[in-house]
Amino acid sequence: MTSMDLTVTLAPAAGAPEVTFRLVGGPDGPGPASTVPDPHAAYDAVVRHGERLLLPALPRQGAAVSEARPVFGGEQRAHVTGTLEGRPVDRRFSRSDSRETARWDALAPLLGGSEA
């Protein structure tokens, strides 16, 4: 996975102003148009976990939600749009429960953190 042009709109906390970053990358790594805080870490996270950007969000009702532990990871929310390997991306992330926090942590360098 090497072709990406992603825009991240991050709401770091409830009521805080949103911040927008961009990650542009190709076979040689992140490009100069990237504005994420650590383009190389964000690029590596997307290469490793980019499928999480392409998968639909889990339903917020029924059995899938009951399996997620009610662990609150923070108020951060992120919306990622753009393209990954030529496929459209339009995915929202939060830290509202254990599953969402795990998804966030896998892509943290892209979403505004340091894990991955």
Task: List the structure tokens of 56.
Answer: 């639909």
Phi then psi dihedrals of residue 36, to 5 deg: -60, 155
The per-residue pLDDT for range 3-31, each reduced to its tens digit, is: 999 999 999 888 889 999 999 999 999 99
C-alpha 81: how far from its chain's center?
10
Phi then psi dihedrals of residue 100, to 5 deg: -65, -40
Spell out the domains of the chain, with CATH numbers in brackets: 4-56+76-110 (3.30.350)
Global confidence as pTM: 0.83
Q: Is 81 exposed, middle or buried (0-12, 13-18, 19+ CB in 10 A)?
A: middle
Amino acid at site 44: D
The per-residue pLDDT for range 22-55, each reduced to its tens digit, is: 999 999 999 999 999 999 999 999 999 998 888 7
Are 87 and 54 contacting, i.e. CB atoms less than 8 angstroms apart?
yes
